[in-house]
Chains A and B, each alone.
Chain A
C-alpha cells in the first residue's frame, strides 16, 4: 500500500494503473481461477443491484403494476404454468420475483456496506487512538471490546431490535428498520476492527518514519490518520470483505425473524421469510430463488476474502 499523494496528474494515474496491473498482486489474482470467478460474480451482482431501477422488468414498490391474479406463477422453465413475462415467477402478492430479488439485493447490499462502513469508522478510530496513545484509553477500550466480543453480535442485535420493535410499535419500526439495522450491526462489530488496527499500530508505532514525524512536530492526529493509518490498510481490507458477508448474513437472519426489513420493502432475508410458508404447498421458487442469490453473494464475497487474506499475508508467500 503506497502513501496517499495529494496531487496526482493524469499521466501519473496511468502509470500507477499500469504498475498495479503488472504487480505481483494482480498476477497471482489472475492465476487463481476461483478468485477471478468470485470477483466476477460479486461485480455482476453488485452492479445489477445498484442498477436495479433501470434493469428490472417491474417496479415491485409500484402497487399499480402488481396484479393479484399473477400470484404464485412458477418460473419460465416450468412448462405448464410458466409465464414469459415473469422470468423467475411471481410471489404470493403477484410481484415479479426477478425484480423483487434485484431490489432486495440492493437493500441487503446497502445495509451490509453501510454497516461495515460504520464499523470501520468506529473501529479504526478507536484502534488508532488506543494503539497510539496507549495507557488508560487503551485499557478502557480494549476491556470494552473484550466484553462486547464475549456477547454474540446476533444475540445483541436480536435483543436490541426486538426491544425497539416492541417500544416503537410495528408501524413506525418498519419505517426506521433500515437505519436501525445499519446502526445495530454497525455498532455491534467495531471491536473486530479496533483490535486489528490496534495490533498493526503497535507494530508501526516505533518505526523510524513515525519518530521522524513526531520530531518535526506533527500533531498526534495527523500522525495517526495520515501516516500510520495507510500502513494498516491491508488487514482492514481483509476483514472488511468478511465483515460485509457477515453483515449481510446478520441482516438476512434478522429480517427472517421479522425484526428487519418489512414485507413491503423486502431485503433478501425478508423475501425468504415470506416465502417460507409456501414451501410446503409446493411453491418452492418463492424461497429457493432468493436463497440461491443470497448464498451465491455471500459465498463469492467469502471466497474473495479468503483469497485476499492469503494474498496479503506475507507469511504465506510460497511460490
Chain B
C-alpha cells in the first residue's frame, strides 16, 4: 500500500517536471514555426488538454514502459538507462562484497574482544572512514594507486565481455581491475557504519540471558559467537542494510563521476547538464522503483528472519 502511494507521488513529481521543464514543441520543431501552427500542433499533441487527462496519458505510457525519448540519444529513455544499469549494478555488487566480507569479521572481532588494541584501531579507523567523504576517498585512491604508483587504471570500466547478453566486467581481468578502486571507494563510506552497528548489536546480545545460559551449558565459544549470537545480530543489520542500498545508489553518482564510470549516475549528471528532461524523469522513476522494491523486500525479509514481527494487515 505504502509502496504504491510512494510510486504515485514519484510519478506525479516526474510528470510535473515534464510539464514545467522545457517545451517539448520547441525541441521538436525549433524556432522557425509560426505561432498559429504551433497552437495547432499543441492541440494535436494534446498539450492543451486538462491536467488530469495529460497526467493519465503520462501514467498509462509510463506503466507500459514508455517514458519518452531522450533528446540527446534519440532513443527511448528507459532503454538508455537499461543499457547503463549493469555498470552501476556491478559497482554496487562489488562494494557490497567488500562491505560484507570486511565488516562482518571486523565487527564480530571488535565485539568479542572489546579491549584489545586491534579493536581500538578498528574503531579509530572507522570514525576516520565516516569523516572522509566518498569523493575524497575516490580522488585519493586514484592519486595514490593510479597517478603515483601506476598499479590501477584511473577511469572507465576497461574491457567488458557479454557472456549473458549484457556488458559485464566480472569475467575478465581488465574489467575486474577497473572495478577494484571504484567499489573500494564506494564501500569505504558504508563499512564503518556496519562495523559499528554489528559491534554494538553483538555486544548487547552477548549480555543476554540465553547467551549466558549457553556459556553455562559449556558450548564452544565459536558456536556461541557465530551461531547463537551472530544470528540475532543480523536482524537490525538487515533493516539498516536495506536503507543503505538506497544511500549507496546516491553515492554511486559521486563515485561514478570521479571514476568516469559509465553507469546510471554518470548518465544522470550528463542528462542534467544537457537538460535532457525525459532521461532525468526516467532516472528518477527507476531510482524510485529501486527504493520501493528494496524497502519492500527488506520488510518481507525481516518478517521471515524474525517471526515475531507481523506485517500491517497480516492476521495473527
Contact = CB atoms under 8 A, between A and B. Distances in A.
B17 interface: yes
Contacts of B17: 163
B251 interface: yes
B186 interface: no
A150 B295 contact: yes
A245 interface: yes
Interface in A255-314: 256-259, 269, 272, 276, 279-280, 284, 287, 291, 294-295, 298-299, 302-303, 306
Contact of A159 (B133, B251, B254, B284): B284
Chain A interface, DSSP helix/strand/loop, else mixed = helix
Q: Looking at A150, A259, A303, which has the most chain B CB atoms within 10 Å of its CB? A: A150
B291 interface: yes
A147 B132 CA distance: 28
A151 B272 contact: no
Interface stretch (B106-114, B165-173, B241-249): B241-249
Contact of B250 (A146, A154, A259, A306): A154
B163 to A, nearest CB: 32
B96 interface: no
Contacts of B135: 252-253, 256, 272
A166 B280 contact: yes
A165 interface: yes
A155 interface: yes
B108 to A, nearest CB: 21
Interface stretch (B46-54, B123-131, B209-217, B228-236): B123-131
A25 B2 CA distance: 44
A33 to B, nearest CB: 13
Given A147-B6, A150-B246, A253-B133, A158 B253 contact: yes
Interface string B1-42: 010001000000000010011000000000000000000000
Contacts of A159: 284, 287
A187 interface: no
B118 interface: no
Interface string A163-204: 101110000000000000000000000000000000000000
B127 A166 contact: no
Given A299-B128, A302-B127, A302-B130, A291 B247 contact: no
Contact of B249 (A150, A155, A163): A155
A152 interface: yes
Contacts of A280: 147
Given A152-B250, A279-B143, A287-B139, A253 B269 contact: no
Interface string A135-163: 00000000100110111101100110011
Contacts of A155: 246-247, 249-250, 287, 291
Interface in B174-197: none
A256 B272 contact: no
Given A287-B139, A291-B139, A302-B127, A154 B6 contact: no
A238 interface: no
Given A150-B291, A151-B291, A299-B131, A167 B147 contact: no
Most chain B CB within a 10 A radius of its CB, from A249, A269, A299, A306: A249
Nearest to A242: B130
B275 interface: yes
Contact of A303 (B127, B140, B246, B254): B127
A192 to B, nearest CB: 13
B136 interface: yes
22 contacts: A149-B243, A151-B246, A152-B246, A152-B250, A154-B247, A154-B250, A155-B291, A158-B250, A162-B268, A166-B277, A166-B280, A167-B20, A276-B258, A279-B142, A279-B147, A287-B139, A291-B140, A294-B133, A295-B133, A298-B132, A299-B128, A302-B127
Interface of A: 143, 146-147, 149-152, 154-155, 158-159, 162-163, 165-167, 245, 249, 252-253, 256-259, 269, 272, 276, 279-280, 284, 287, 291, 294-295, 298-299, 302-303, 306
Given A150-B246, A256-B254, A299-B127, 20 more contacts: A146-B2, A147-B6, A150-B291, A155-B291, A158-B250, A162-B272, A162-B280, A163-B17, A166-B272, A253-B133, A253-B134, A269-B133, A272-B135, A272-B136, A280-B147, A291-B136, A295-B132, A298-B131, A298-B132, A302-B127
